[in-house]
Amino acid sequence: MKNRRSFIVGIKSTKLNNKEKIFLRKFKPWGVILFTRNIKNINQTLKLTRSIRKIFNDNYYPILIDQEGGRINRLKNIISFENLTSEFFGKRYSKSQNDFNFFYKLFIDKTSYLLNSMGININTVPVLDLRVKGASTIIGNRSFSHNPSIVSKLGEYCIKHYHQNKIGTVMKHIPGHGLAKVDSHYFTPIVYKKIEYLKKKDFIPFMNK
């Protein structure tokens, strides 16, 4: 990790081009994040991640992905996870914790197997935003629940089991995108709730992780 800079970059296609190789060698970003455009199949992606790590001579160089399931499915060229949203698992938890434990662990284990097979070592999960009625749809069914306690417990479960599978995690999107009225990819959201409210609600899932 020595001399790496604190930013993450994406790349254009399914393999590095010469300009990207020069950029990575020169600027030494902290990590590289992959998107659907970079992933055609397992073997191709493994070659890509190996070529990235070769530049840094580091078998553990951070290579990230947003692989939540549901509509945030960067592996859609390989497998479909569209129905397996965080909301789906949150509802399972509310109905039967035993069923939740079985199905969510299976989901994480299989996702981790695919990521490990492709040389990806960090998944940017869990989404710890609350489901808020009337807010932007950018979160929506990406949230486990409107209940801070449920989101917190399921977030802990998510982190624990990905780590057991040797996949790092990144919590998102504090300070509470669930309240945002606009999509922060395109506009700057402003949350007007007082800090006391946020501490009792939106911040709870992010605390003590």
Question: For 100-137, how does the pLDDT look when each residue is reduced to its tens digit (9 = 90+)?
Answer: 999 999 999 999 999 999 999 999 999 999 999 999 99
> Quick one: tokens of 18?
């010469």
Average pLDDT on 75-84 reads 94
Joined together, the tokens standing for residue 92 give 């399972």
Contact (CB, 8 A) for 66 and 124: yes
Query: Would you state the pLDDT for residue 5?
Result: 74
pLDDT at site 105: 98
The DSSP element (H or E) to which 79 belongs, if any, is none
CA nearest neighbour of 65 among 77, 52, 74, 56:
74
Report the 3 state secondary structure along 128-177: CCCCCCCCCCCCHHHCCCCCHHHHHHHHHHHHHHHHHCCCEECCECCCCH
Question: Is there a contact between 26 and 56 (Cβ–Cβ < 8 Å)?
Answer: no
Average pLDDT of the chain, as a whole number? 95
The 10s digit of each residue's pLDDT in 1-11 is: 566 679 999 99
Q: pTM for the whole thing?
A: 0.94
**Predicted pLDDT of residue 181:** 93
| Ranges 13-27, 122-136, 166-180: which has the least confidence | 166-180
